[in-house]
Amino acid sequence: MSMQLTQEEVIQSIPSYLRQFVVKQHYDEYTPQHHATWRYIMRRNVNFLKKYAHPAYLDGLEKTGISIDTIPHIDDMNDKLGKIGWRAVVVDGFVPPAAFMEYSEHKILVISAEMRNIGNILYTPAPDIVHEAAGHAPIIADPLYSEYLQRFGKYGAKAVFSKDDYDIYEAIRYLSIIKEYANATEQQISEAERDLEQKLSDYTVPSEAAELSRMHWWTVEYGLVGSVDDFRLFGAGLLSSVGESKACLSPEVKKIPFSTDCVNYNYDITKMQPQLFVAEDFQHLIDVLEEYADGMCFRKGGADSVRRVIDSLNVGTAVFSSGLQVSGQFNNLLTDGRGHEIYVGTTGPSQLSYEDTELEGHGTDYHKDGFSSPVGRIMDSPKPLEKWTDSDLADAGLLNGRDGTLAFESGVVVAGQLRNVTRRAENLLLMTFENCTVTGPDGTILFHPDWGVYDMAVGGSITSVWSGSADKEKFNVYPPKSTKTTIKDEPTASELRLYNLYSKVRNMRDTGTANDETCREVVRLLNEEYPKEWLLRLELLELIRKNGIDGGLEKQLDTALQALKNHSDVYDNVITAGYEFMLK
């Protein structure tokens, strides 16, 4: 069933903590040159990719509302995407990796509204609508690939990440912005490159999030499918890059069978890739992702996982075997002689939740100074504490308003006056004590009665750990929207006149009103004001040939284009290719 939602309706339908990264697509800001650039890229890509892309690509263009001739409108895309269970929102460039993953988990395609400038027509390091819409959207029409992308988002949103990950994200974001900015100076680009290089050189032990970002890069962005000797393209970076899609066919680009080993290969967003990975099929993508996920903290739990969240210096969530979720910046972990967790603690604002919903009265305002609790089984009890009934508590001398003691197998002792218990799904989640003292195995005071009420989490073990909070609506730990945004200059008078010429040519093509007088006037203005304008000359030459208009115009345009090939390798590339797919 089609959702048929407007931009505003889609924005309101997503979690509130993800809305901060969303912007609206201002379709009228795309210039006629932008639309011509889009048309050139799409025609060239489709002409090439019909032979080399995964079969889902061409079919997916139609299914996801991607036009060849004009930049797609986000409302048109949502009309089509809704029929396959997805939505799309517009963002300004990169969003934080964890947030990006969560969009995928919710089956929301993130679209950068920006359109690359014509100088970066072969490749741009910045996310743009060519990459996002024409690269990512078509393949998600394949059900297996759609499942892979959603599952990747679900696991990626739970990956443990570090402060270094966010610093590198900001450096990459700024470098991509400055490289796409047409008026950037060499000094600005060099400084941004040095900043990123420094941050990468300081980063020696990749986090789960960093490793998953590599798998994402080598599949979702630059993936191949088939065998190393006979493959098809499906990664968005290949499907949206005229240069990369051809370059990847070269034997100089090493082809490696896809496996979890791909997480050991870093990448550089500013350069073409020296190696690519080849999955057998889309099911193989899912299988390898599941293999990697089996080793992630959210599936392993335990002391090692808590330790990784402590080292990350970020808010994380630890799930007790009772189902209770504790979210905060973990800073304390005690273990027994076997390395098992026996006591954990957070510092600063913390939250207690169950099934990703904050428990009433246990938000960050109440637990503003942190939270701590023992973990493990009770001495001489065959039954885990989370399974204790009210009768079991009474048998152990734990009655509301009376003093009682819980002695854990680890040696941790909790002694105080029981005030309340919290249960969910017949599990005991939380025990609240007054006048409570908690001591560690060596007699260290872990909690003193003077510190207030003691809320003790219940659970024999920590079963899952991840970065971020459990109830993000109540405890949003995503960083605020970046202050580094796309740089835009107001068009000059000369650029506006050029855009007007693009509009004239498009109007003649769309309405079938090509005529000698208008074509001759456009050629004259190109010769006088825009000697290096290659794309409009190609479009005009195509129009003249198709409509049988000559009078020497074809020769003028052809001579100018052949001369422009000598301007640079890029000009030679784009003009030669244009002759092949536009003029044959």
The predicted structure's pLDDT at residue 348 = 97
**Residues 297 and 155: beta-carbon distance below 8 Å:** no
Write down the pLDDT at residue 44: 92
Q: Which stretches of the chain drop beneath a pLDDT of 70?
A: 1-4, 93-94, 125-126, 180, 182, 202-204, 270, 480-489
- pLDDT on residue 3: 45
pLDDT of residue 114: 85
pLDDT value for 423: 97
The pLDDT, as a whole number, for residue 198 is: 79
Q: Which pLDDT score, from 0 to 100, does residue 180 have? A: 64
Residue 536: exposure state from Cβ atoms within 10 A (0-12, 13-18, ≥19)? buried
The tally of CA atoms less than 13 A away on the side-chain side of residue 428 is 21
pLDDT of residue 488: 66
Token code pair at residue 529: 């004001």
| Global pTM value | 0.88
Q: What's 130's DSSP letter?
A: I
| % helix, strand, coil for the chain, step of 5 | 45, 20, 35
Per-residue pLDDT, 125: 65
- Which of 458, 465, 454 shows the shortest CA–CA distance to 324? 458
Q: Which residues contact 326 (CB under 8 A, 6 or more apart)?
A: 317, 318, 319, 320, 344, 346, 350, 351, 352, 371, 373, 457
Whether the Cβ atoms of residue 372 and residue 345 lie closer than 8 Å to each other: yes
